Amino acid sequence: MYRVYRYRIAWVPLLGLAGSFLLALAAPPIHAQTAREIIDRVDRLLRGESSRGRVTMEITTEHWSRSLEMEVWSLGVDHSLVRVEAPAREAGTATLKAGQEVWNYLPRVDRTIKVPPSLMMGSWMGSHFTNDDLVKESRIVDDYDFEIAFEGEREGVDVWEFVLTPHPEAPVVWGRVEEQVRKADLMPTWIRYHDDDGKLVRTMTFSGYQTMGGRLVPATMLVIPADKPDELTSLTYHKLEFDIALDESFFSLRNLRSRR
C-alpha cells in the first residue's frame, strides 16, 4: 500500500533558492524601516521575475556520484523548465512545472509523463536539496522570525549572523536556521539548518560571488548533510540572465519536448 517511492522531480528554478536567501535577510533592528523596504523590494522583484541560466550540479552520495549540466528557465515561483544538457545519455530529459502540474519528458523513449504532485518525494533530482527548499521560498518571510545573533568580523569580513526561528504553526521542518550574510554586499555565506532539538542537519555554503545578468550572485552553492559528511551536492551557475522576455506561454509541453 504505502511504499517508498524514490522518485525525484525538478521543481522550481535554483535561482529561486538564491533569491530566497536574499529575502531571508533582515536588516539590523536599527534599520528596521530600511529592512522592511529591502525585503519588500526583493519580494516584489522575485514575483514576475523571469530568468534563464545554465548550471552544473554535482552530487556525491554513499552509492554513486553524478554530474549534470542543466539549462533552467523560470518565471516567478509557479513556472519553471529544467532541461538536462549533459551527460549525453541523459540530454533532453526535462521537467516542466506550471502552476500545480508537473510533467517530465524522457528523451530516450520520447514520452512525456504527467506527475501528480502527491507522488513527490523528498529529494530533488537525487540531490540533497528537498522539494521543501524549492517550493517554500515564497513564504520564508512569513514563516520565520529573524534575530541578529552576531554582528562583527569573521575571518576579516564584516558579517551579520541571523537566527531564524519558525513561527509556531509554520509548516516548515526546521527547528532553527542560522545564516551568515556579508554586510558589504548582502551576500549569504552559509546557512545551517537545525532540527527541533537544535541538532545540525545540513549546511549550505555559498561562494564564487560574481556579477551575472547584471547582479551580484553566489555562483556556487554546496549542500552537505550533517550525518553523512562524505555526501554533498554542489550547484554552480555558469550563466544567468534576468528580466528576459519570457511569459507563461513559454512553459508549455511543446517546449518541454523540444531540444532548443
Contact positions toward another protein, by CB under 8 A? 1-8, 59, 61-66, 89-90, 93, 100, 104, 106, 108-109, 111, 113-123, 126, 130-132, 135-136, 169-175, 193-197, 201, 227
Based on CB atoms, which residue is closest to another protein, 1 or 30?
Answer: 1
Please, what is the minimum distance in Å from the beta carbon of residue 120 to another protein? 6
Closest listed residue to residue 135, CA positions, set 195, 219, 203, 76:
76
Please, what is the minimum distance in Å from the beta carbon of residue 10 to another protein? 11
Please, what is the minimum distance in Å from the beta carbon of residue 147 to another protein? 19
Distance CA 183, CA 219 (A): 18
Please, what is the minimum distance in Å from the beta carbon of residue 186 to another protein? 27
Based on CB atoms, which residue is closest to another protein, 64 or 247?
Answer: 64
Based on CB atoms, which residue is closest to another protein, 112 or 207?
Answer: 112
Based on CB atoms, which residue is closest to another protein, 41 or 114?
Answer: 114
Based on CB atoms, which residue is closest to another protein, 134 or 187?
Answer: 134
Please, what is the minimum distance in Å from the beta carbon of residue 20 to another protein? 16
